[in-house]
Amino acid sequence: MAHIDTLFKILKEKKGSDLHLSPENSPLMLAAGDLVPVMAQKLNHEQHKALLYEIMNERQRTRSIGSSTSSRPTSRSRSGP
């Protein structure tokens, strides 16, 4: 069982929805219209990465690594009338 499944189990038990994950923060869930911690422990960058990489396939991992190291354009120019 993937470690993220533990968070989903807690989410279901507490009748929450919308799992929110962000490095250096506790996992949050939406419950009764409010964002509340799923657990008190904050996930550091490596824990966050491990949690997500465990459920990603190789292509998704490669895209994730590429997107974190490449510069993204801030806007797109469109030609037209």
- Domain-located, residue 72: no
- Domain-located, residue 74: no
Give the domain CATH number at 48. 3.30.450.90
What pLDDT score was predicted for residue 71?
44
CA angle, residues 33, 39, 41, in degrees to nearest 5: 135
Q: How far apart are CA 38 and CA 42, in angstroms?
A: 10
With b for 16 or more beta-carbon neighbours within 10 A and e for fewer, the 19-40 pattern comes to: eeeeeeeebbbebeeeeeebee
- Residue 7 · residue 48 · CB < 8 Å: no
What pLDDT score was predicted for residue 75?
46
- Domain-located, residue 35: yes
Q: Which domain holds residue 37?
A: 4-67
Number of structural domains the chain divides into: 1
Residue-wise pLDDT tens digits, 16-64: 999 999 999 999 999 999 999 999 999 999 999 999 999 999 999 999 8
- Domain-located, residue 28: yes
- Domain-located, residue 75: no
- Domain-located, residue 76: no
